[in-house]
Structure 1
């Protein structure tokens, strides 16, 4: 599903007047989520899941094409852990 398709489905489910309004709400949520994660904070939505940033340590990898070893620097990554209620709904 694309972002545009999600916005259309969101509009339908929330019974909003138009796509522009639902697009604003979706974009507002996404930009707020980005802001939280950039600050290094976590976002927990009970029953849905938890968005968090973790520090992935530096490591040595191998280029699969050439076999050459490459050093990869440490970096922040975003992780999502699904909540039990949401996981149970998806599993049905």
Structure 2
């Protein structure tokens, strides 16, 4: 499912117009992104938790040349599925 299909599905399930459903989906994405960029987390009980994790700087190799290179430290988004989502997927 891509973003447009998600918007269509939300519109069908909620009775909203596609334009309003699109705004709602965008608002959810923007809110999650904003909270994660501040270092917070978004916990949706039964669905899952969006959070961030710190990755340390490391040394890797350039796959083309084999030369060692430094990979910068970074913050990575994470998602941990909740029990309700796990149970629904494993029916």
TM-score by length of 2: 0.94
Q: Which runs of no fewer than 5 residues in structure 2 stay unpaired?
A: none
Which residue in the other structure is 1:62 paired with?
61
**Partner of 1:22 in structure 2?**
21
* CA drift at 1:91: 1.6
More divergent stretch after superposition (59-68 vs 40-49): 59-68
Deviation, 1:86, is 0.5
What is the CA distance between 1:49 and its match in structure 2? 0.5
1:53 and 2:33 are equivalent in the alignment: no
The C-alpha deviation readout for 1:27-55, integer Å capped at 9, x for no partner, is 11111111101110011111110100111
SS at match of 1:65: coil
**Secondary structure of 2:69 counterpart:** strand
RMSD: 0.9
Matched residues in 2 for 1:4 and 1:47: separation? 25
Q: Which consecutive unaligned segments of at least 5 residues does structure 1 have?
A: none
With normalisation by structure 1, the TM-score equals 0.93
CA distance in 1, matches of 2:67, 2:89: 41
Give distance in 2, aligned partners of 1:20 and 1:69: 49
Which residue is equivalent to 1:7?
Answer: 7
